A = this chain, B = another copy of it.
Amino acid sequence: MINFAILGFGVVGSGVYELSLNNKETVTKKVGKDVNVSRILVRSDKEHDAKHLFTKDFTDILNDGNIQVAVETMGGLEPAFTYTKSLLEAGIHVVTSNKELVATHGKELQEAATLAGVSYLYEGSVGGGIPIIRPLQNCLAANEITEVFGILNGTTNYILTQMKEHGLSFEKALKSAQELGYAESDPTADIEGFDTQRKISILASLAFGEDIGLENIPTTGISALTLKDLESAEAEGSSIKLVGRAWIENGQPKASVEPVKVPKSSPLSTVSSVNNAIVVRANPLGEVMFYGQGAGKEPTASAVMADVISVAASFT
């Protein structure tokens, strides 16, 4: 039996818990052993089926002695960073969906993991349930990757789709996204492009083996876009999309985030609503695209759980 802990019991954390129960048979078959959630770090108590697993004390998990893997779905930099580092140093594998942490301290945490002989995995940090981290690491391993770009934020893509299809202003489309739970009450990270910035930073680091640094990624969001901008792009046969892009220029990795006029002939132009799509250009492979629901409880839980299974299956 393999025990894992969940740190943070919000949307993604509870999704991982539910998935571990609902698809128990599938998971057990893949790993060859039972894989159980044995502890859950919560901020405050609440009524829940899993209440008997709750703790508010991180050291309960760190010192448990029977936890081999921790899933960090707290989000934010602290205390996620301190907890993750302590876990890795204690020889506990960590799986995360926390893109802010991976984009900011991924390299340091990866090094701590390597030093301790454990894994730090983050398939859930980019593209929700779309497999992209592992394909970049493994399936394209023989390639020189020259460019990665795509629609990496579902909230802004939903807003742009609503504006275009229903003739809404930016403000009205944002309000609709908030009402549906696609945008947070403080939507800054999404609409100003910071979420996309973090994700393209993670992809660039994987693609080029080098950190660009968030501060070196010029970033423009969609909050200044008007319905008129979208309509005039449409008249030219294009759709405006918020695109994160990373490429090699004079031997150096570069990245940017900005609204881009995507021609109708591009597969990116058909990506609507909360979907994401990521295009990778590589030599000698050519171009491949990965497409799907880029956020949300269940897709992200699916990606996190795949990493847990991958770690668990490696135990002998």
Contacts and interface: CB of A to CB of B under 8 A. Distances in A.
Interface of A: 15, 19, 22-23, 26-27, 29-30, 123, 129-131, 134-135, 138-144, 209, 267, 270, 282-293, 298-299, 301-303, 305-306, 308-310
Contacts of A303: 139
A295 to B, nearest CB: 11
Residue from A288, A293, A308 with most neighbouring chain B CB atoms (10 Å) = A288
Nearest to A266: B270
A285 B129 contact: yes
Contacts of A15: 284
Given A23-B142, A129-B285, A284-B302, 10 more contacts: A23-B144, A129-B286, A131-B135, A131-B138, A134-B134, A134-B135, A142-B302, A142-B305, A284-B301, A285-B293
A288 B131 contact: yes
Nearest to A134: B139
Q: Kindly list the 6 A-B residue pairs having the minimum CB-CB distance in the complex, ordered from nearest.
A: A131-B139, A142-B305, A288-B292, A284-B298, A289-B291, A131-B135
Nearest to A264: B270
Nearest to A312: B141
A274 to B, nearest CB: 10
A130 B140 CA distance: 9
B292 A291 contact: no
A26 B140 CA distance: 11
Question: Among A22, A290, A305, A310, which residue has the most Cβ atoms of chain B within 10 A?
Answer: A290
Contacts of A141: 26-27, 30, 305-306, 309-310
A78 B93 CA distance: 45
Nearest to A303: B139
B286 A299 contact: yes
A310 B138 contact: yes
A143 B284 contact: no
B299 A285 contact: yes
Contacts of A130: 288
A139 B302 CA distance: 8
A138 B19 CA distance: 16
A290 B290 contact: yes
Contact of A267 (B270, B288, B301): B270
A292 B284 contact: no
Contacts of A282: 302
Contacts of A298: 284-286
Contacts of A135: 131, 134-135, 139
A267 B285 contact: no
Contacts of A301: 142, 284
Contacts of A138: 131, 134, 306, 309-310
A23 B140 CA distance: 12
Contacts of A134: 134-135, 138-139
A129 B282 CA distance: 10
